[in-house]
Amino acid sequence: MELKLDGISKNFGEKEVLRNISLSAQSGHAMGLLGRNGAGKTTTIRIIMGVFFADSGTLTIDGKPMNRSEIRIGYMPEERGLYPKQLISTQLIYLAQLRGMSKKAAAESCDRWLERLSMSEYKNKKLETLSKGNQQKIQLAATLMCDPQIVILDEPFSGLDPVNAMLLKDVIKEMISGGAIVLFSSHQMNYIEEFCESIAVINTGKIVLQGKISDIKRSYPRDKISVTSPQAEKLTAFLLQKMSGDILTANVDKNDRSMITVQLKDPAFKSRMLREISDSHFDIDSFYVNEPSLNDIFVQYTEVAV
- Residue 146 CB, nearest distance to another protein (Å)? 9
Supply the minimum distance, in Å, between the C-beta of residue 130 and another protein: 14
State the nearest-atom distance from the C-beta of 295 to another protein, in Å: 28
Which residue lies nearer to another protein by CB, 85 or 254? 85
Under 8 Å CB-to-CB from 294, ≥6 apart: which residues? 189, 192, 193, 199, 213
User: Which residue number, 146 or 171, has a Cβ lying nearer to another protein?
Assistant: 146
Q: Which is nearer to another protein, 75 or 298 (CB)?
A: 75
Residues near another protein (CB under 8 A): 13, 46, 49-51, 53-56, 73, 75, 77, 79-84, 86, 94-95, 97-99, 142
User: What is the nearest approach in angstroms of another protein to the Cβ of residue 81?
Assistant: 3
Distance of alpha carbon 181 from alpha carbon 25, whole angstroms: 7
- The CA–CA distances, whole Å, from 167 to 79, 133, 182, 192, 226 equal 21, 12, 17, 16, 34
**181 vs 227, beta carbon nearer another protein:** 181
In the complex with another protein, the residue whose CB is nearer, 49 or 243, is 49
Indicate the residue among 68 and 242 with the shorter CB distance to another protein. 68
Burial class (CB in 10 A: 0-12, 13-18, 19+), 123: middle
Q: Which is nearer to another protein, 75 or 195 (CB)?
A: 75
- d(C-alpha 297, C-alpha 306), whole Å: 15
Buried b (16+ CB within 10 A) or exposed e, 63-93: eeebeeeeebbbbbbeebebeeeeebbebbb
Please report how close the Cβ of residue 141 comes to another protein at its closest, in angstroms: 12
Question: Considering the complex, what minimum distance in angstroms separates the CB of residue 253 from another protein?
Answer: 44
Q: SS3 of 301, please?
A: helix
For residue 168, what are the CA distances in angstroms to 53, 130, 165, 241, 254? Answer: 31, 18, 5, 51, 36
> What is the nearest approach in angstroms of another protein to the Cβ of residue 200?
20
Phi, psi of 18, deg, nearest 5 = -125, 140
